[in-house]
Structure 1
Amino acid sequence: MDIHSRPVLFYRWIVFLLAAGYCLQQLLLGAWSGAGGPFRYLTIWALFLSFYAASRMLALSEHRITRKHEVTAMCAAVLNVMVVFLYWRLYFTDPSLVNGRGPIDWWLQYYLHALGPALQIIDALFFGRVFRRVWRAALPLIIIIGAYVAWAELFVQRFNTKPVGDVTSGLPYPFLNSLEWADRVTFYGVNAATALGLLAVFGIIGAVIYRVWQPQVAA
């Protein structure tokens, strides 16, 4: 489907406005009780990256830019999948592992961990068709993950006293505070490797879809 068509433009406006609204909600009403505010959480990093990606996809559809921002969209898609997988895996084990501050509103929970990521991934995979030469996104993705780990370990933990765990305190997600440093390093490393694996999987899925589903070109 042509990215400049009305259906795609309408879809991208919806994705953009939803992401913008939730970003604004976090800036105004987010968890600002601790140092770092809502940006303590990887989920919010993914939300703002999705917002930026959505703004670029919309601008591309409206002929306001020519750069495709494929790497941006790929990184946003992979980061969103990581957030969704980690959140729900831990949530179904024990909600307190991720929701240390107590239950969150359903409209926030399901947008951040389901609808928002799904909308962004659909655009990137089917409309933007960005998953070509996915190796280009590998380094930026690792940089984003590394930056978040450094932020959590060197800033968030240092300037926060909650949540409290068996080993340390202040790390954004409760379960992290019950892991020794070596175990946290392993956890971060496994998830970085998982991110690269997801990127490769998206590349394979994209290659299959783009080979089978060729866009129609006007004569």
Structure 2
Amino acid sequence: MSIHSRPIHIYRWIVFLLAAGYCLHQMVLGSWSGPGGPFRYLTIWALFMSFYAASRMLALTEHRITRRHEVTAMCAAVLNVMVVFLYWRLYFTDPSLVNGSGPIIWWLEYYLHALGPALQIIDALFFGRVFRRVWRGVVPLMLIIGAYVAWSELFVQRFNEKPTGTVTSGLPYPFLNSMELPERAVFYAVNAGTALGLLIVFGLVGAVLYRVLRDRPVA
């Protein structure tokens, strides 16, 4: 099916409008109780990355651009999987590890940590078929993760007093504030490695899927 077909066009409009609506919600009604606002959280970085990827995929479908933005879609997909995995793993251990300020509204929680990522990943994997030369996504993905870590450690922690932990305070997720700096460094490194692993997995899945479909990149 061509990415210019009506079903994919409609799908991409739905993904774009949902992402745009939730981004607007965060800008207007998000958690602005501390410096950095909602952008303290990796989830919101992933949301805005998804919005940008959705806008590019829609523009490609409507012939407004020719660049395929495959790396953009790759990075958004991997970032979303990381968010979903980390959030639910910690949530099912103890909700306070990630929701220090209390429960999230259900329609916001399930979009940010389930539906939104799923919609973006479906587009990238099945419609855009972007996971062909995944090595191109390694440097951009590491830069995004490195930027978030630096933002959290150098800005968010410095200018926020909550949440508090047994070691420090201000880091966006409560559990991080109960870890020493070397422990946090290991945690960040492990998750960066996980991101690379996910990129490789997507590449392998894509290689098999696209061979089975016996199709060139949709155009």
Task: Name the TM-score, length of structure 1 as normaliser.
Answer: 0.98
The equivalent of 1:139 in structure 2 is 139
Residue ranges of structure 1 left out of the alignment (5+ in a row): none
| 1:42 maps to amino acid | L
Tell me, in whole angstroms, the C-alpha distance in 2 between the residues paired with 1:216 and 1:31.
44
The equivalent of 2:117 in structure 1 is 117
Summarize the alignment of residues 53-72 of structure 1 with structure 2, pairs less than 5 Å apart: 53-72=53-72
Once the two structures are superposed, residues 52-108 of structure 1 have per-residue CA deviations (whole angstroms, 9 ceiling, x without a partner) of 000000000000000000000000000000000000000000000000110010000
Change (3 A) 1:216 1:131: closer
| 1:5 maps to amino acid | S
The equivalent of 2:24 in structure 1 is 24
Tell me, in whole angstroms, the C-alpha distance in 2 between the residues paired with 1:149 and 1:32.
20
The equivalent of 1:153 in structure 2 is 153
Does 2:94 correspond to 1:84?
Answer: no
Change (3 A) 1:170 1:216: closer
The equivalent of 2:184 in structure 1 is 184
Aligned residue pairs, count: 217
CA RMSD of aligned residues (A): 1.0
Cα distance, 1:20 vs. partner?
0.1
Tell me, in whole angstroms, the C-alpha distance in 1 between the residues paired with 2:31 and 2:174.
15
Q: Is the partner of 2:32 in helix, strand or coil?
A: coil
| 1:31 maps to amino acid | S
The equivalent of 2:201 in structure 1 is 201
Identity %: 81
Residue ranges of structure 2 left out of the alignment (5+ in a row): none
Tell me, in whole angstroms, the C-alpha distance in 2 between the residues paired with 1:180 and 1:51.
34
The equivalent of 1:35 in structure 2 is 35
Cα distance, 1:215 vs. partner?
3.7
Q: Which runs of 4+ in 1 moved over 6 A?
A: none
The equivalent of 2:7 in structure 1 is 7
The equivalent of 1:50 in structure 2 is 50
Cα distance, 1:214 vs. partner?
2.6
Task: Name the TM-score, length of structure 2 as normaliser.
Answer: 0.98
Cα distance, 1:216 vs. partner?
8.5
Does 2:80 correspond to 1:74?
Answer: no
